[in-house]
Amino acid sequence: MMKKNSRVAQVLGIEYPVISAAMSWVTDARMVAAVSNAGGLGMLGANAGQTELTSSPEETADRMRNEIRKVRTMTDKPIGAQLMMVGSGGPFVEPLVKVYEEEDVNVILCLNDVPQEYVDRFHAAGKKVIHKDIFATVESFKKAEAMGYDAVIVAGVDCGGHSNVKCIGTFTAIRIAKEATSLPVIAAGGIIDGVSVQAAGILGAEGIYVGSRFCASVESPIAQNTKEKIVELNTDDLVQVEGIFGPIMSYPTPDILKCKELMEDSQAKNAGAITGTYSGGYRTGMLLGGWTEGVGLLDIGASVGQIKNILTVQEIMDEFAKGME
């Protein structure tokens, strides 16, 4: 069993070691506050609470600042937000780091190779810092420990969103992380109920990081038709395609099938079109529900066949609690 009062719960100052995933376009203040109010840690992802695109780094940072303040009108419990590194991170990183330093957000999830400087700055600002690496290598866990992170997330290929390139399943991924580091390990990928929490706990995980199950929650910001489709889908209905950072699973909309074709033809030659489909696809497909017209992505984890109803965040948290002691 997973301990309710595990090191993850203690370090993050939460009642249950449950973190809702920082899903691009698929989080907002309401959902994040609901998770934190239910005793977990709600995590704001990229474009949290937004419906419109922007390419301005300043606007992106301002939007995140506003969303954090909005969550703060709904909860005084710990909340988190994500810093994502794509390549060098470009001009988006520094304005966002400043927002996180200045605002009342307690935990920063650093995705991929975030430089030591930022980890130190978050710690100096009194935040806890969690590491997640899409590539999930032994080396990355060792490095995270040396850099002073407070915990690591390990995601198996079962997860929604981009999963690890070597397609390592959640069971094995947890064991790899446990062996590589003495930091608390938070498991992700296919965790949707009490039984899966229990299984992750038996393998040594001290917390869970959950995306797909929270997509089909009452409080999730995605379109109602997307939630209803998630409940209806089976794993067989999904296709696995090469994403920008690793494989993803999606309902096969024409957009995603076209992307698969372009990827197979030449990823390098079609980089612009491919990135456009993926990065905008969460917004057009899931958030706005455009997948019915064949637009965008409907990206969800392999556990989709076991997600059979739309529940409130509190009901989902109650179910997870059944797998803890």
The answer to whether 197 and 208 have CB atoms below 8 angstroms apart is: yes
If the CB atoms of residues 115 and 169 are measured against ligand FMN, the closer one turns out to be 169
Nearest to 76 by CA among 45, 33, 44, 126: 33
The answer to whether 40 and 20 have CB atoms below 8 angstroms apart is: yes
Amino acid letter, residue 81: A
Sequence-distant (6+) residues with CB within 8 A of 316 are 213, 214, 217
End-to-end CA, the chain: 6
If the CB atoms of residues 45 and 89 are measured against ligand FMN, the closer one turns out to be 45
In the complex, what is the shortest distance from the CB of residue 204 to ligand FMN, in angstroms, rounded to a whole number?
18
Q: Which residues of 216-320 form beta strands (DSSP E)?
A: 239-242, 247-250
**Residue 242 structure tokens:** 């090469």
Nearest to 18 by CA among 282, 37, 27: 37
In the complex, what is the shortest distance from the CB of residue 266 to ligand FMN, in angstroms, rounded to a whole number?
25
In the complex, what is the shortest distance from the CB of residue 233 to ligand FMN, in angstroms, rounded to a whole number?
13
Which parts of this chain interact with ligand FMN (CB under 6 A)?
A: 21-24, 26, 45-46, 111, 132, 155, 158-161, 188-191, 209-213, 215, 282, 286, 299-301, 303
In the complex, what is the shortest distance from the CB of residue 191 to ligand FMN, in angstroms, rounded to a whole number?
6
If the CB atoms of residues 65 and 132 are measured against ligand FMN, the closer one turns out to be 132
In the complex, what is the shortest distance from the CB of residue 77 to ligand FMN, in angstroms, rounded to a whole number?
20
If the CB atoms of residues 131 and 260 are measured against ligand FMN, the closer one turns out to be 131
As beta bridge partners, residue 185 has 152
If the CB atoms of residues 180 and 287 are measured against ligand FMN, the closer one turns out to be 287
